[in-house]
Amino acid sequence: MTIDLEAVRGDTPGCVRTTHLNNAGCSFSPTPVVDSVIDYLRREATLGGYRLETAEQSAVLCYRGAGARLLDCSDTEVAFAPSATAAWWSALRAVVFAPGDRVLATTAEYSSNVFGLIQLQRQGVTVELIPSDLNGQVSVEALSEMMDERVKLVCVTHVPTEGGLVNPVIEVGRVLSNWPALYLLDACQSVGQLPVSVREIGCDFLAATGRKYLRAPRGTGLLYVRSGLTGLADPSLLDLRSASWVDAWRYELPETAWRFETFESSAANRVGLGVALTYACDLGMSAIADRIRSLSAELRVLLQETEGVQLRELDGPQSGLVTFAVDRHEPAHIRDALSSADITVSVVAPTHEPFDPSRRGGDGMVRASVHYFNTSAELHRLVEQVSQIVSG
């Protein structure tokens, strides 16, 4: 299966007026997603939020089945989350730590995850970083050597925010299958970009966001929780969606991931999330990944050939996120100058990935992140504009 470029660009009206290369920040929702949200909101205005939600249960809850299809799991293992950070923290807070427990984490953890790790340290849990190899990938060998019975949790970021790195999450899962440790995967940048099978990876929890590679509305995300996990803490926030009241001082929780969902969230956005997940499944994750891979490889070559530009990527498997620096120009200046030419890129700051030992970014880098609806012509446009900035 290949991507029908004309069709996907036809579904993406923003492509007509602008070159969007910030899909790792926030992508464009395709028209079927936007229409589903607007249509739902219009109907809410005439029927009322509760009545419509009851009438449209299957559309509002579609993200569970579509999320299960995309992640290769059961729909009872998929919960709605308002963001990847919220999903990741729900998973972290579900792990019960005892004195002497260890937590291992990749050096690529996103800053909002790092805040959680700092909190764990304050509670007396030992948090250790797993060394990376020369390509920046987490060293599976080092991980194997660090493992023991006291490791309670291993946190891994699949595709970090700061460049093209893809971590070997299946190999990590193989190591962890020999140990009781729980495996928490931050798949914020990978879900919607690469095929992600939780069965193959073997993770216990996965956090994803809607607005990036999934092209879903803002304020949406997913939490995967493997069924059969025992000994988890109750979610720190419960309401009548996540829990049922049994008698005076007793409540019950479902065995499913749904105990992490709360009642109040935008039903329209949940409908949109379901449509976005279905859209990605229908295009096919392999076709999406192939196109992103070939476009980002082309962009790397173009940037490498451009005078005054330094590609800031390491070797190894590469994602759709491409980082670079430009001689004599601050990354923010490049971003703003490109924005004036209607090309959207972003800037990644060292604070986004506080543990990154490569520090290849210096004080920051320009990040161009491609999606399957981008074209080779758009990449040439970007590089031409950068060249013009360089030549002053």
> Given the rule CB under 6 A, which residues bind ligand PLP?
83-85, 110, 112, 157, 160-161, 186, 188-189, 209, 221
For ligand PLP, the closer CB: 139 or 189: 189
Q: How far apart are CA 106 and CA 86, in angstroms?
A: 19
CB of 240 to ligand PLP, least distance (A): 25
* Least distance (Å) between residue 87 CB and ligand PLP: 8
Distances (CA, A) of 313 to 3, 25, 323: 26, 18, 6
Two tokens, residue 340: 């004036």
Residue type, 172: V
Tokens found for residue 368 = 């161009």
Which residue type sits at 175?
Answer: V
Q: How far is the CB of 188 from ligand PLP (least distance, A)?
A: 4
Asked if 207 contacts 81 with a C-beta cutoff of 8 angstroms, the reply is yes
Smallest gap, in angstroms, from Cβ of residue 334 to ligand PLP?
19
> How many Å apart are CA 164 and CA 323, to the nearest integer?
8
Looking at the DSSP bridge assignments, the partners of residue 365 are 348
Question: Which residues touch 329 (CB under 8 Å, ≥6 apart)?
Answer: 389, 390
CB of 352 to ligand PLP, least distance (A): 7
Distances in Å between the Cα of 190 and the Cα atoms of 11, 24, 31 are: 22, 9, 22
d(CA 102, CA 63): 34
**Residue 161 Cβ, how far from ligand PLP at the closest point, in Å?**
3
Determine the angle formed by the axes of helices 285-304 and 267-283, rounding to 10 degrees: 80
Nearer to ligand PLP, 213 or 279 (CB): 213
Closer Cβ to ligand PLP, 92 or 386, answer by number: 92
For the bound state, the minimum distance from the C-beta of residue 59 to ligand PLP, rounded and expressed in Å, comes to 23
| Residue 19 or 83 having the CB closest to ligand PLP | 83
Task: Could you list the beta-strand ranges (E) of 226-295.
Answer: 244-247, 250-252
Nearer to ligand PLP, 21 or 383 (CB): 21
Q: How far apart are CA 250 and CA 247, in angstroms?
A: 5
Residue with Cβ nearer ligand PLP (139 or 209): 209
Give the nearer residue to ligand PLP in terms of CB position, either 112 or 126.
Answer: 112
Other CB atoms within a 10 A radius of the CB of residue 161 amount to 26
Cβ at position 55, least distance to ligand PLP in Å: 30
Residue closer to ligand PLP by CB (options 160, 274) is: 160
